[in-house]
Structure 1
Amino acid sequence: MSAEEQADPEARKTARPSPVQRALWILRALSDPQVRRLSDVARATGLDLATASRLLDVLVEEGFVTRDDKRRFGIGPEVFQLADVAQRRVDLRALARPSLERLVEEFEDTAILTEASRGESVCSDIELGTFPIRANYVEIGTRRPLGVGAGSLAVLAWKPEPERTARARLTPQQRQRYPRLTPEVIAAQIAQARERGYVLFLDLVVEKMGGIAVPLLDYEGRPIGALSIAALSERILAREARMARRLREEARRITAAWTRRAVPS
């Protein structure tokens, strides 16, 4: 399935998905705290109500989804158990947590860990800043198309060129939500990021707010995530060089620790 089909419910309808794919769409949709009712799930996945209801019943029975007495759905305990197993292998969140805390202590603005997930970016950890005006539009579990946001763009910008090109276009539905992020703007942002070595993403999603980010690269140079600071655009511009330097330093710490655990000795 193409990246556009994954992200666009309308495209999914003609893709002849398997029942397993449909169930995975539901689990992914439920990671959004705004998706709680059957109608929310159907709308988020592009499934009809009957299909969504049938799959939810199976997922509830197997423990992958919870359902309360008001028929609101949520991620179930089986998902968290699988997540625990995955995290025990190489827990990027645990490796990045000290870096997030150090960045907030130094700059007083919100620090974010982003990871890639099937053509999207996911906020996997966050340390809120202490400055009174701060980014409040991202929380743990927030999913965005690759290229939307500083950390997300850092992941996209350091992917291999063919994948970069394929992922750098938003669907019509996504373009309505992020009208400033035209293909030309995303391409220019990628080129500038690769030239300077970090992403500077200002006023493109939220007016007067932005982010500065660096990729977290594995031992083969592939992005496994990104480290970013979100703040008022003017606060980033005033400290751009220092923020970029510190983000790079912390990224090197994280990726060195990740490599020691991920690569067999």
Structure 2
Amino acid sequence: MSQSLSRALQILIELGEGERSLDQVAASLGVHKTTAMRLLHTLEADRFVRRDDRQRYHLGSRLFALGGAALAQHAIRDVAQPHLTRLAAETGGQAVHLAGYENGTAIYLAKVESTHAVRMYSRVGLPAALHATAVGKVLVADLPPGEREAVIAGIDFHPFTSRTIADAAGYREVLARTREQGWAEDAAEHEDFINCVGAPVRDETGRVVAAVSVSVPDVILPREGVRALVPQLLAATEAISADWAGRSS
């Protein structure tokens, strides 16, 4: 990848986390302000970046169209959406997610928001921690052994909470259990007050193509109560899998 392209992409990633000044962008890239300004002007000209009246930079409107196109190209999202909506209603208005695996990252492809006042931090298009979310565990558990080991080697096992899996050995045990039981759990491992269960969506060959999860604040349901939602979750993922296989045949 060319240095200019790499820097431009780094700017977009940085702005995805919030507005930045020219000085902040230059410092993040480790370049002179004139270099950062040249990159920003190029991105601004094509509407990838916009500048406000305080000379702060934000993501631009061109990304709206690209984001919509990217989601539209994930056909599994369209197949799954009615099932996700139904699952959310059947579980009492809990948050439901669909995630896919892309270039070593689990990405949220769809979300049905909880109807409760307490909600979890997640957004379509953002990554899900592979070691600390139910969907991440489901997606990694199905990878071929060599690829799975490469992914595990790249995880830094950041401790989001005191319950986050701390090392590769513990993660391998969880992945083995996930494959054996057919679903995964996030027991307040990513957010202290959220418990979650996730299960795979499979294609006609049995390969995992996505993962679905139900996430519940502990003030709504305790951990055992969330585990009790697994049969409904599995029914939903089986229905999505059947529809997906039918679409592909």
Gaps of 5+ in 2: none
Once the two structures are superposed, residues 157-178 of structure 1 have per-residue CA deviations (whole angstroms, 9 ceiling, x without a partner) of: 2222212111124655x62556
Shift of the 171–88 alpha-carbon distance from structure 1 to 2, 3 Å rule, reads closer
Partner in structure 2 of residue 22 of structure 1: 7
TM-score by length of 2: 0.79
Matched letter for residue 235 of structure 1? P
Supply the distance in 1 between the matched residues of 2:57 and 2:244 (Cα, whole angstroms).
34
Alignment of 1:170-181 (within 5 A): 172=156, 175=158, 177=160, 180-181=164-165
Q: Please point out which of 106, 113, 119 is paired with 2:98.
A: 113
- Higher gyration radius (CA): 2
Aligned length in residues: 241
Q: Which has the higher helix share?
A: 1
Gaps of 5+ in 1: 1-15
8 Å contact 2:216–2:226 — kept in the other structure?
Answer: no
Q: Please point out which of 40, 44, 47 is paired with 2:29.
A: 47
- 1:252 equivalent to 2:235? Answer no
Task: Give how far 1:214 is off.
Answer: 0.8
Task: Give how far 1:104 is off.
Answer: 1.9
Supply the distance in 2 between the matched residues of 1:63 and 1:105 (Cα, whole angstroms).
39
Task: Give how far 1:17 is off.
Answer: 6.0
Once the two structures are superposed, residues 107-160 of structure 1 have per-residue CA deviations (whole angstroms, 9 ceiling, x without a partner) of: 12211122233322222322222345x442223333244223111221122222
Shift of the 67–188 alpha-carbon distance from structure 1 to 2, 3 Å rule, reads farther
> What do you get for the CA RMSD once the two structures are aligned?
3.1
Alignment of 1:51-62 (within 5 A): 52-62=36-46
Partner in structure 2 of residue 146 of structure 1: 130
Partner in structure 2 of residue 79 of structure 1: 63
Shift of the 164–53 alpha-carbon distance from structure 1 to 2, 3 Å rule, reads farther
TM-score by length of 1: 0.75
Supply the distance in 1 between the matched residues of 2:130 and 2:116 (Cα, whole angstroms).
28
Supply the distance in 2 between the matched residues of 1:21 and 1:175 (Cα, whole angstroms).
25
